[in-house]
Amino acid sequence: MDFKGSDTIPGPRAEDQLPHTAQAAAKIVIVGGFGVGKTTMVGSVSEITPLTTEETMTQAGIGVDDNFGSATKTATTVAMDFGRISITEQLVLYLFGTPGQQRFWFLWNGLFEGALGAVVLIDTRRLEVSFDVMGRLEERGVPFVVAVNSFPDAPRYAIEELRTALDLTPDIPIIECDARRRASSRDVLMTLMRFLHSLAMTGSRP
């Protein structure tokens, strides 16, 4: 890390600064397989140009080596992009797009802790890549909805056929979306919020 001086680091543009009244933030996570549209969805609803935070994955991180002192560990950098939506003058919502493959699960610790909920983005051409992600969310008790990105050459299944294949209970929303369209991505987030609201009403846990 090379800090030549604090003036050389560009910060948020004036219009991207939060008001001083901003009291607290909440986060939701958009998770899915490679190329499923996570970055697109974050970007289509974010009020700021999506940013990237990086984390270093060592061999220890990929389960090969537990020894932190090991001199042989190699490091790979993994990027996670995120966006922001100001809800009120006091409240801010952050959206994190994160890869679902098992080798990236080390990213999950700081991420799913405390997240209000998650959107699992699926591509019907590779449905099985989302299976593990859903299982992990279920184990951790993180409520989620499923959004099906409609790629032109993807097989089309009826929602109930997907529900059966994904083994999801009837209360878990499954919706089709086009992550490139802001209105469609917003509908996905609304669906998640309504689902969380219904859970809060019944007090049930997913």
Partner 1 sequence: MTPPQRQRRDPAPEPPPPQEGEGKVRNPERMYVVAGPDGERAELDLVTLIVARATDPPPSASPEQAAVLRLCAAPLSVAELSAYLHLPYSAMGVLLTELLTAELVQARAPIVRKQRTDRSLLEAVMNGLQRL
Ligand X SMILES: Nc1nc2c(ncn2[C@@H]2O[C@H](COP(=O)(O)OP(=O)(O)OP(=O)(O)O)[C@@H](O)[C@H]2O)c(=O)[nH]1
Residues near Mg ion, by CB under 5 A = 38-39
Q: Which is nearer to ligand X, 91 or 106 (CB)?
A: 106
Give 26's strand partners.
93
CA angle 126, 169, 136 (to 5 degrees): 55
Query: Partners of 55 in the beta sheet?
Result: 78
User: Of the listed pieces 30-38, 145-153, 161-169, 173-181, which binds partner 1 according to CB under 8 A?
Assistant: 161-169
Compute the distance between CA of residue 162 and CA of residue 173 in angstroms, rounded to an integer. 11
Residue 54: phi and psi, rounded to 5, are: -110, 150
Task: Sketch the per residue contact string, 59 through 98, with partner 1: x for CB under 8 A, - otherwise.
Answer: -xxxx--x-x-------------x-xxxxx--xxxx-x--
Residue 114 CB, shortest distance to ligand X, in Å, is 23
Contacts of 11 (CB under 8 A, 6+ apart): none
Interface mask toward partner 1 for 7-46; x: CB under 8 A:
x-xxxx----xxxx-xxxxxx-----------------x-
Q: Which residues bind ligand X (CB under 6 A)?
A: 32, 34-40, 97, 99, 149-152, 178-180
